[in-house]
Amino acid sequence: MEFLVIALIFLILLLLMVWRPFFKQKTQDVRVDSSLRDETNVRLYHEHKKEIEKDYGEGGIDEESYQYLLAELDKTLLQDIESTSKEVKVAINTKSYSPLWPLGLSVFIIIFTVALYNKQGSYKLITEMPSGHGQQQGMSQEQMLEQRENEAIAHINKLQKHIESNPEDSEAWYNLGQTYVAVGGFDEAVAAFTQVINIEGEHADVLGAIAQALYYKNNQKISAQVQEYIDKALTLDINDPSTNILLGMHNFIAENYQEAITYWQRVINSNSQGVNIAALKEAVAEANNRLGNASGKSASSMGASSTSNHTDEAQSVAGPQLKVSVSLSDELIKQLTKDEDRVVFIYAVPTNGQRMPLAAVKMKISDLPTVIVLNNSQAMSPENNLASVEKAHVYAIVSMQGGVGIKPGDFKAEALGVDVNRSDTLELIVNTLVE
């Protein structure tokens, strides 16, 4: 009886998949299934690590070779996490469906299922795994990488053909950039991501993707150019998965394990769609193990509370709590509320001229007026936060282009030299046009 219930559920799910395009009738997404590869990569990681430790324990390799092999193994796993954290997809326009084909397909599925069960005859045969699955599990890591590269090249060709007839399809351009990163075409990836910005404007995930491509091109070093894109991405969205995974990997390789955990835990707490959370938790566990903290107390304490829109409760209890009241002037209310819902940035920067925010919050005009709290949890990096300074410049910017920074045409309010430990609420009324 239990088997029949399970079979019925799967049959219903299959029929829903058949009928879904008829009811939705928008676009299809062709996705590269990465879940099996993620599972295999993690399994291979542990197997290879045991082999290295065994060779070291038996005296087959020296201490220097042992540390080098472990570092290379860790780097491979982390790159796999990043490269598979977002599914590669391409939008393909489809025509309106007639109800006849899903109806006919549904009848065929039901008849075929019943006939197959009657012919095969037993529960054991139906549930038996296909032989091809075992072959895929038995593939070496080199074969898997070669297969993945071939799939990526074929997908690049498909995307390029699609873009030729749909040059304004930003999603296709983004997927093209991600695929180029996977095969090491970093200049081509940056060009594709830049095209997305030209179409849609600056968004955190696109800026993070550019930072990622430039980081790999620069032999996994954070140059001034890479840092600029990282800062912009985190200003737009402090929990951006691409940027935080990149920073976590960079710190892990540099053996800054606690900082790596901090960045990865942001992504885990935000539960972002398209991210392999299970693999990321494996990386956090390994970082904790390197710290000599196998129980993972630091990670669990950060993960004990969920993230809200603008604060991380695990960190907001300590450090300055700068309350800021943000509103629009009466004239701007009449002018801007008639247009689209513009982006508003509220942030604090050091008084020494550096532009990297000590804390930043992103919202919409429709959220105003409001009172927000700037604190250490909104910092771009653990070292540069409100607690690291005594005074800061505080800005509220209505961005007309949607990007970070203060540009001509934006509207602003500012308060200079603000004591970050002040107890009363700082009031900012946006009323000045940036020229």
Q: What per-residue confidence (pLDDT) applies to 32?
A: 43
Q: What per-residue confidence (pLDDT) applies to 270?
A: 82
**For residues 40, 43, 44 and 49, what is the CA-based torsion angle, rounded to 10 degrees?**
160
Q: What per-residue confidence (pLDDT) applies to 104?
A: 63
Higher pLDDT, 21 or 347: 347
Q: Residue 394 carries which side chain, given as an amino acid letter?
A: V
Picking from 153-157, 290-294, 323-327, which range would have the lowest pLDDT averaged per residue? 290-294
Mean pLDDT, the chain, as a whole number? 74
Confidence grade of residue 315 (pLDDT, cut at 50, 70, 90): very low
Rounded Cα distance, 271 and 291, in Å? 25
Select from 427, 428, 320, 335 the least CA-distant residue to 378: 320
Rounded Cα distance, 171 and 71, in Å? 35
Q: What per-residue confidence (pLDDT) applies to 140?
A: 58
Percentage of residues of the chain with pLDDT beyond 90: 17
pLDDT of 379 strictly over 60: yes
pTM over 0.85: no
Tokens standing for 204? 């955190």
- The residues, any chain, with a CB within 8 Å of residue 398's CB and separated by 6 or more, are 328, 332, 336, 342, 343, 344, 365, 410, 411, 412, 430
Q: What is the pLDDT of residues 259-305, one digit of tens each?
A: 888 888 888 888 777 777 888 888 888 888 887 743 334 434 444 33
Fold adopted by 27-93+143-303 = 1.25.40
Rounded Cα distance, 72 and 353, in Å? 39
The verdict on whether omega for the bond into residue 99 sits within 30 degrees of 0, i.e. cis, is no
